[in-house]
Amino acid sequence: MIVCNNISKEYKHGSARKRVLSNVNLTVNPGERVALLGRNGAGKSTLIKLIAGVEMPTSGKVTRKMSVSWPLGLGGGFQGSLTGYDNARFIARIYQRDYSQIKDFVEDFSELGRQLRMPVKTYSSGMRARLAFALSLAIEFDCYLIDEVILVGDQDFQRKCRHELFEKRTDRAMVLASHSTELVRELCDRAVIIHKSEAQIYSDIEQAVDIYSQL
């Protein structure tokens, strides 16, 4: 279970302040799939970062009682100057997993072949997404945090991701930030709409999608 208790987040730069989230309460239960909806800049990614513990809330508290992945997105989580293999090694070390298993999975899932021996900064965004997905699926988590990335990459890769995430791992919890109402309808149990720094929770997905479309 993940509990966000009354969390707020404010960014300050010089004298400028921006309140991105105010008093958000959200509980994610094991096996539950929660969609985050909102316009660009509404605070979806921020909420995901707070849940992941990448950033700290200005006030309020996030409690995690299951293992939570790092935010799966385009950037973050790896080091551009290192090769794909080095990044895999790093992940294996800090999550205390067997490197050879992770290596096999990454090779198989990402289909990057010899590119894995090149620094990640030479990868295209699609290739990065492949590596990012491969690395985070190589480690089993109770809850996956996914930030838009699902729609990156070619058809074949998208199919693979869906299979790994939504078919093989049906028992896992997921928090999914997406603009794709189709995907949300198909996959999620609940939806959170973030608008003007407030979060509204809907257990009826259709209703949430309707409201979101009118924002």
Partner 1 sequence: MARSHLRKLREGWAVQLRVTHALMIRELTTRFGRENIGFLWIMVEPLLFAGLVALLWRLTKGPEEHGVSIIAFVVTGYIPITLFRHGVARSVAVFTVNSSLLYHRQVKILDFIIVRFVIEIIGGMMAYAFIATILIIVGEMPLPDNMGLLIAGWFLYAFFSFSLCLIIAPLSEMSEILEKFVPVTTYVMIPFSGLFYMVSWLTPKAREFILFSPFVNAMEMMRKGVWGDQLTAYYSIWNPLGFSVVLTAIGLGLCRHVRRKLAVE
CA distance 181 to 130: 23
CA distance 31 to 171: 5
Q: Which stretch binds partner 1 (CB under 8 A): 34-42, 52-60, 163-171, 183-191?
A: 52-60
79 lies in the binding site for partner 1 (CB under 8 A): yes
Query: DSSP assignment of 77-126, as one string?
Result: SS-TTSBHHHHHHHHHHHTT--HHHHHHHHHHHH--GGGGGSBGGGS-HH
140 lies in the binding site for partner 1 (CB under 8 A): no
Which of 1, 54, 66, 183: binder of partner 1 (CB under 8 A)?
54
Which of 41, 53, 63, 65: binder of partner 1 (CB under 8 A)?
53
* H-type alpha helices, the chain: 44-52, 84-94, 99-110, 125-138, 155-162, 181-187, 205-213
60 lies in the binding site for partner 1 (CB under 8 A): no
Which of 3, 5, 86, 99: binder of partner 1 (CB under 8 A)?
86
Residue pair 150/72 in contact by the 8 Å Cβ criterion = no
Instruction: Give whichever of 140 and 206 is closer to partner 1, judged by the CB atom.
Output: 140
133 lies in the binding site for partner 1 (CB under 8 A): no
Which of 15, 17, 40, 81: binder of partner 1 (CB under 8 A)?
81
Nearest to 51 by CA among 65, 32, 39: 65
Q: Which stretch binds partner 1 (CB under 8 A): 85-93, 102-110, 152-160, 171-179?
A: 85-93
Q: Which residues bind partner 1 (CB under 8 A)?
A: 11-12, 49, 52-56, 58, 68, 70-71, 75-79, 81-82, 86, 89-91, 93-96
